[in-house]
A and B are shown apart, each in its own frame.
Chain A
Amino acid sequence: MKKFWWFLFGCAALISLAVEMTQEAHHWWEKIPGFYVFFGFAGCVAIILISKALGKLLLQKKEDYYDVR
């Protein structure tokens, strides 16, 4: 069942990419085929990894951080 949903998802993505081919590009990045697909995926991965790295290195502290003196 789960595989079926992912299959549908893939089909929808392919259709949207096909529709995209018919559109003219308004910005330089829209000339790259499937740019937004890549952008959504890579952007999400980058945000997670960068945030987590910042959190580990610098920002995250124990919950009582401000209570102990």
Chain B
Amino acid sequence: MFGSFYLPPFVYMIAGALVLPLLPKKTRSTAFLIFPLMTLLVIWTSPFGEISSVSYAGYTLTLVSMDALSRIFGTIFALIAFIGGVYAFNVKETAQQSAALLYAGGAVGVVFAGDYFTLFIFWELMAVASAYLIWARRTKEAQQAGMRYILVHLFGGSLLLSGILLHLSSGGSLRIEQIAPNASLSSWLILLGVGLNAAIPPLHAWLSDAYPKATIAGAVFLSAFTTKTAVYVLIRLFAGWEILIFAGVIMTLYGVIYAVLANNIREILAYHIISQVGFMVTGVGIGTALALNGAVAHAFCHILYKALLFMGAGAVLQTTGISQLTNLGGFARYQKATLALYMIGAFSISGFPLFNGFISKSMIVSAAGYAHYDIIMLLLMLASVGTFLSIGLKLPYFTWFGEDRGIRPTKTPKAMLAAMGIASFFCILLGVAPSLLYAYLPYEATYSPYTIPHLLEALQIPAFTFVAFWMLRGKLAGSPTITIDTDWFYRKPAGVVRTVFVDWVSVFFDAAERKSLALAHFISELSKNPVRFFFHDDSASTLYSPGRYRQPITAIMLFVLFGFILFAVAAIFS
């Protein structure tokens, strides 16, 4: 497998994206599944260290640098690409599946990149491939949201690139290494570029804007890759930057508040990506071995249960065509399997014992406690309350229970249920046997989640969250509104910007065009019969007619001839 035959893990995904359209139509969905499995195989048979490097323009680019941190991220990316492939089994549009593989290839490329240039190229590949998964929905709002999405990501990419270039020009190394806190302008630029992809407010609005408008299968892939590669890069570069603790805590609560207000089921889930990534960012900021392990473990678990939740919401959208809570309700008994699988994801994200969220989130919360960030720890627990409230109670209650609006969903496709089943299996497996995950975490720290105080805390808090929800559930019923977020700053002024830079400009050019056409017309009229303008001959035709002006010329010619004759006669007689 090694030596001259070694191919970097991302090659399999990207090759898959290119090969897929060439295969016979019927085999494509099955073939899709092979590429993530091959990637997984390569990741787990590769040794640690820098495996693959090439020279380019005087630089040495390290295409694959494998260690415990990149391996665990690569593993979950390949695994979720597989599960997403199962979910997208019935998708007829191969371009979507190719884009998903390309996107996964970008994510795998980023986590194994050993240098900034390689990282940046895969970073941009992800942005472009993922945008297609939004556009492929083919609605007007998806088209517009996709355009905003790609523009914001290109902006983020340019922040990252300027950071990298500044870092290089000030003598920095091309290799990806830990950056000392508050180092320099270049590191702040890199942090902003990465933070945008991690959806740190106020740079987060692309996520909650675009994800709810993506295709049903596309949202599953979107929920997994972009934010978690950013978490990976944060761990690589910015572990122990204290500002990330505060940014992370703000994220956890920001997502919670917006999810309470959201009415679209996939928007609720999108805001809880921001909230959950907030936990990871907090862990990166704390920077102890336990906190970093917690961030890695939580990223791993989060990808599984969040994909599961998006698959459940996608199944609702697929079978009913509705995604607004105010229009859903009362069809639980027609969709028991989907509901049950969704609830496994909901219990996982809420950190219930025996589900995988419990074993990863509690690491970060405990790490905050051990590092004596008491207030931070309480705020993280408050965010957990909000998570259970929105994902575990509000969304399922108003989607499947609540008022019966006479919705009769079609059958959930088997492939979708199978994919949700696989994700559920891993959610429970890791919850029951956390050592399966802990054994592969990159940093040296021991942790046992199943202690009596933890269990008490993890049962009492949600139990009484439920009591409060039951009393106030009337207040929580959605309203047919949208919630403005920081995308307001580029969406609302868009009208004014349009007026000034498009409408006014086009008014100006219209006027200029009309004036110049009028001038050209005038000149062409003039050149048809220039004589007319010298003689003020109003009755004259616009066209030049030689005969009309012949008279005076013949008279002159006669005079001239007469003059010649006169001179001739005078010459004869002299």
Chain A residues packing against B (C-beta within 8 Å): 9, 12-13, 16-17, 19-20, 23, 26-30, 36-45, 47-48, 50-52, 54-55, 58-63, 65-66, 69
Contacts and interface: CB of A to CB of B under 8 A. Distances in A.
A40 B484 contact: no
A45 B472 contact: yes
Given A23-B452, A47-B256, A51-B261, A61 B381 contact: no
Given A39-B464, A47-B382, 15 more contacts: A27-B369, A36-B457, A39-B381, A44-B464, A45-B472, A48-B260, A54-B257, A59-B261, A60-B261, A60-B481, A60-B482, A63-B481, A65-B484, A66-B491, A66-B492
A69 B463 contact: no
B464 A52 contact: no
Contacts of A62: 481-482
B475 A52 contact: yes
A52 B452 CA distance: 35
A36 B480 contact: no
B265 to A, nearest CB: 15
B250 to A, nearest CB: 14
A27 to B, nearest CB: 6
A23 B479 CA distance: 44
A63 B482 contact: yes
A39 B461 contact: yes
Contacts, number: 123
B456 interface: yes
Interface residues of B, number: 41
Contacts of B185: none
Interface in B365-380: 369, 374, 377-378
Contact of A16 (B258, B460, B476): B460
Given A36-B460, A44-B468, A66-B491, A60 B452 contact: no
B463 A55 contact: no
A42 B461 CA distance: 10
Nearest to B459: A16
Pairs of residues from A and B, 9 with the lowest C-beta to C-beta distance, nearest first: A40-B464, A44-B468, A51-B260, A40-B461, A43-B385, A36-B460, A41-B464, A60-B481, A44-B465
B386 A47 contact: yes
